[in-house]
Structure 1
Amino acid sequence: MKWTELCIYTTNEAIEPISNIIHEAGASGVVIEDRQDLEKERESIYGEIYDLNPDDYPEEGVRLKAYLPVNSFLGETVTEIKQAINNLLLYDIDIGLNKITLSEVNEEEWATAWKKYYKPAKISERITITPTWEDYQPVSTDELIIELDPGMAFGTGTHPTTVLSIQALERFIEKDDTVLDVGCGSGVLSVASVLLGAEQVFAYDLDEVAIQSTKLNVKVNKVDGKVKVKQNNLLDHIDETADIIVSNILAEIILRFEKDAFERLKPGGVFITSGIIQKKKRDVKDGLEKAGFDILEINQMEDWISIIAQKPEESR
């Protein structure tokens, strides 16, 4: 089979939404080439593994690469991707140069091109994320390993928004908690929740690709007995109540269901939100407080924000 490499020149801010657009269009895997990865100083407390070649990165900004099969629908698919990316401007997302190029690649190049960017990474005190094809051995007895296959997933699990979410889960999950993962993507947060002690996780996403990715990754990590995966629009028509709700999606989407999240949480429950850009921090914070939440923490990693809110023990 022949494949076309779709290369999009954009900004760090647009990585997550454009990655979602690409996956929804049927791409198998996304490569993120961010020049900042070469220049920023790295904290070493969690022992991240980096082996980066400057020749693989753009002179400035970000390149996103995706691989689409060459077929009669390719032109239409590319047009839809371009339109969806342009629509991000409606959400005040900086899409930068937004230059898109196409090139043909062979089967072998497609199968291996993105794997060199994905190595094991310890992203919190206890959790290490590793690709399924790596033979990674834990270095401590309390280390928790998440094996992730990003071939059809939403990122590799090491993006700052995901890291912020997992670090929050690690601190707030208690044994036997019930967790709702809204916008589950690859399912990495659902897997992390179970490994950290949750008794039951309900994972929701509107996208069928995300549902299949979550089902795959919860099975790979042997937690499928505790994770129920359902295609659903946010928390519409959901009756389960939870100790924790986690959602790593766009700020605009968080503000579509903050009231539903408040209703679905038990008194004292925690709402972990991520995927928030700097200029949307105030909007999300105000929206959560208006819904009745108390703000516990506002955390930042690089240009991304995570807000942790709590439903009062006694609702006002």
Structure 2
Amino acid sequence: MKWSEISIHTTNEAVEPILNILYEAGASGAVIEDSFERMKVRENQYGEIYELNPEDYPEEGVIIKAYLPVTSFLGETVEEIKTAINNLILYDIDLGKNKVTISEVNEEEWATAWKKYYNPVKISKHFTIVPTWEDYQPVDTDELIIELDPGMAFGTGTHPTTVMSIQALEQTVKPGDVVFDVGTGSGVLSIAAALLKAGKVLALDLDEIAVTSAKLNIKLNKVHDVVTVKQNNLLDGIDEKANVIVANLLAEIIIRFSKDAYRSLEKDGYFIASGIINLKRKEVEDALQDANFVIHETLLMEDWVTIIAKKR
């Protein structure tokens, strides 16, 4: 089979929503080339640091590469992707250069090209993200391993918003807690909550393909006895209460359902709001406080913000 590589030159702010658009369009596998990675000073805080090749990264902004099968409908699919990306402007998302290019790759190139970007990465005190094809042995006895296949669902769990969400879960989840993961995507946050000994995790996503991918990753990590995946629009129709709610979504969506999150939490429960670009931080904080939350802690990484809010 032949594959078409779609390359989108955009901004860090637009990465998550564009990945979702590509995901829904049926893309298989994705690569994020972030210019910031070339300049970032890496402290050896959690484990091994890998040397990066500057030629793999753009001079500015972010390049997202995804792979679509070459079919008779490819042209229409690409046009739909372009239109959906352009519509993100309606949500005040900066698209940067917004340059889209298409090139053809064969099966062998597609199968191996993107794997060079992914290595085991220790992202927090306890968690290490490991691609499924890597033979990785834990370094510490208390190390928690999350296995992900980026060809099965977008992301390796190393994007700043995901890393901070997992670090926030480490701070807030206690054994036996009920956790809601709203907009679960690949299911990585639900897996993390289960490995932190949550008693029950409810993973919610509106997208049917995301639900399928989350179920596969959750089964791969052997936490399907704790995690239930459900197709659902945010917290609509969810009557149960949680001790912790985590949502790695767009700032606008977090603002929209912050009052529902408050309603769905037990007393002294935590709402972890992530996926927030720094420019939107004040808007989200105002919405959370308006919903009667107290800002418990704010995590910062690059240009991203994760807010841990507590129910009064």
Structure 2: which amino acid aligns with 1:16? E
Looking at structure 2, the residues matched to 123 and 260 of structure 1 have their Cα atoms a distance apart, in angstroms, of 30
Alignment of 1:284-303 (within 5 A): 284-303=284-303
Contact 1:254 1:284 in 2 (8 A): yes
Name 1:179's counterpart in structure 2: 179
Structure 1: which amino acid aligns with 2:196? L
Looking at structure 2, the residues matched to 48 and 10 of structure 1 have their Cα atoms a distance apart, in angstroms, of 29
Contact 1:49 1:120 in 2 (8 A): no
Moved more, 48-57 or 185-194: 48-57
Structure 2: gaps (5+ residues): none
Looking at structure 1, the residues matched to 19 and 43 of structure 2 have their Cα atoms a distance apart, in angstroms, of 26
Per the normalisation by structure 1, the TM-score is 0.97
Name 2:225's counterpart in structure 1: 225
CA shift digits 1:218-260 (9 cap, x unpaired): 1011000110000110001111210000000100111121111
Looking at structure 2, the residues matched to 24 and 219 of structure 1 have their Cα atoms a distance apart, in angstroms, of 22
Looking at structure 2, the residues matched to 150 and 68 of structure 1 have their Cα atoms a distance apart, in angstroms, of 14
1:15 aligns with 2:15: yes
1:88 aligns with 2:88: yes
Secondary structure, counterpart of 1:59 in structure 2? coil
Per the normalisation by structure 2, the TM-score is 0.98
Looking at structure 2, the residues matched to 60 and 302 of structure 1 have their Cα atoms a distance apart, in angstroms, of 15
Name 1:44's counterpart in structure 2: 44
Structure 2: which amino acid aligns with 1:63? I
Structure 2: which amino acid aligns with 1:273? A
Structure 1: which amino acid aligns with 2:243? D
Query: Structure 1 pair 245/136, CA: closer, same or farther in 2 (3 Å)?
Result: same
Structure 1 runs (4+) deviating above 4 angstroms are: none
Moved more, 36-45 or 189-198: 36-45
Contact 1:190 1:203 in 2 (8 A): yes
Secondary structure, counterpart of 1:255 in structure 2? helix
Tell me by how many angstroms 1:48 deviates.
4.7
Q: CA RMSD in A?
A: 1.0
Alignment of 1:252-291 (within 5 A): 252-291=252-291
Alignment of 1:114-193 (within 5 A): 114-193=114-193
Looking at structure 2, the residues matched to 273 and 49 of structure 1 have their Cα atoms a distance apart, in angstroms, of 28
Looking at structure 2, the residues matched to 303 and 43 of structure 1 have their Cα atoms a distance apart, in angstroms, of 18
Looking at structure 2, the residues matched to 215 and 222 of structure 1 have their Cα atoms a distance apart, in angstroms, of 10
Structure 2: which amino acid aligns with 1:19? L
CA shift digits 1:77-131 (9 cap, x unpaired): 1111101111111111111111111111100111111111011111110011100
Secondary structure, counterpart of 1:164 in structure 2? helix
Secondary structure, counterpart of 1:104 in structure 2? strand
Structure 2: which amino acid aligns with 1:40? K
Contact 2:12 2:61 in 1 (8 A): yes
Looking at structure 1, the residues matched to 48 and 234 of structure 2 have their Cα atoms a distance apart, in angstroms, of 33
Alignment length, in residue pairs? Answer: 312
Tell me by how many angstroms 1:59 deviates.
2.6
Structure 2: which amino acid aligns with 1:70? V
Tell me by how many angstroms 1:42 deviates.
1.1
Secondary structure, counterpart of 2:256 in structure 1? coil
Identity across matched positions, percent: 68
Tell me by how many angstroms 1:51 deviates.
3.2
Contact 2:42 2:49 in 1 (8 A): no
Looking at structure 2, the residues matched to 221 and 243 of structure 1 have their Cα atoms a distance apart, in angstroms, of 23
Moved more, 175-184 or 54-63: 54-63
Secondary structure, counterpart of 2:51 in structure 1? coil
Name 1:304's counterpart in structure 2: 304
Looking at structure 1, the residues matched to 48 and 264 of structure 2 have their Cα atoms a distance apart, in angstroms, of 36
Looking at structure 2, the residues matched to 188 and 6 of structure 1 have their Cα atoms a distance apart, in angstroms, of 25
Contact 1:176 1:200 in 2 (8 A): yes
Looking at structure 2, the residues matched to 176 and 62 of structure 1 have their Cα atoms a distance apart, in angstroms, of 40
Looking at structure 2, the residues matched to 87 and 58 of structure 1 have their Cα atoms a distance apart, in angstroms, of 24
